[in-house]
């Protein structure tokens, strides 16, 4: 059984990777499909995101990386996939994802949507949170794989706050972001 895990993945986070790893244990093949969305201004190009995801999933032999545009169900049909894999962090995610699942079902009755609840340690995490923290000089080393953290710091012309010796001596960074940090 083939599952498609669609998204923008700008950037891919440890939460996304958690869903990919768990999905790879449930399905014969998982295709991480980066959506080419002309209406968004991403931090990374599609090619950069594909490479970042390939690097992050290189130890998962049944995970493929691809990109697409258009309707997700059409792409899933082209890949002979039977499942759309989606991660849920909160009730607000569920409402949006359920609406998408019902909409996709009207487009193709052959494709099911499977939801995986995000692991507790990643329940706060999104690509938007990562970019917001980095934009204001915070550490994202605990939120994304190391190679992606370096790419993010380059985009914002920063050094890693954790790798900078003066920073690590004077500051410590939480394992989780508190909802009251304003991000």
Q: Is 142 one of the annotated active-site residues of the chain?
A: no
Exposure class string for 20-53: b at 16+ Cβ within 10 A, else e: bebbbeebebbbbbbbeeeeeebbbebebbbebb
Burial class (CB in 10 A: 0-12, 13-18, 19+), 5: buried
Q: Is 160 one of the annotated active-site residues of the chain?
A: no
Report helix, strand or coil for 88.
Answer: strand
Indicate which residue of 24, 49, 86, 127 is catalytic: 127
Q: Is 127 one of the annotated active-site residues of the chain?
A: yes
Indicate which residue of 36, 89, 105, 142 is catalytic: 89
Q: Is 147 one of the annotated active-site residues of the chain?
A: no
Describe the strand order of the beta sheet including 2-7 as a list of residue ranges. 63-68, 29-35, 2-7, 83-88, 112-117
Indicate which residue of 16, 49, 86, 131 is catalytic: 16
Exposure class string for 130-164: b at 16+ Cβ within 10 A, else e: bbbbbeeebbbbebbbeebbebbbeeeebebbbee
**Catalytic annotation, residues:** 16, 40, 89, 127
């Amino acid at each position: 059984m083939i599952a498609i895990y669609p998204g923008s993945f700008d950037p891919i986070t440890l939460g996304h990777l958690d869903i990919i790893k768990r999905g790879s244990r449930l399905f014969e093949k998982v295709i991480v499909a980066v959506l080419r969305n002309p209406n968004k201004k991403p931090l990374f190009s599609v090619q950069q995101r594909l490479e970042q995801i390939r690097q992050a999933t290189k130890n998962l032999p049944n995970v493929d990386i691809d990109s697409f545009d258009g309707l997700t169900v059409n792409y899933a049909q082209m890949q002979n996939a039977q499942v759309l894999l989606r991660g849920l962090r909160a009730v607000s995610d569920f409402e949006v994802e359920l609406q998408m699942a019902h909409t996709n079902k009207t487009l193709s009755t052959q494709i099911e949507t499977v939801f995986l609840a995000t692991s507790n340690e990643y329940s706060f995490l999104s690509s938007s949170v990562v970019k917001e923290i980095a934009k204001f000089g915070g550490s994202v080393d605990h939120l994304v794989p190391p190679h992606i953290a370096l790419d993010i710091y380059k985009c914002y012309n920063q050094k890693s706050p954790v790798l900078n010796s003066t920073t690590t001596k004077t500051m410590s960074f939480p394992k989780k972001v508190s909802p009251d940090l304003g991000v």
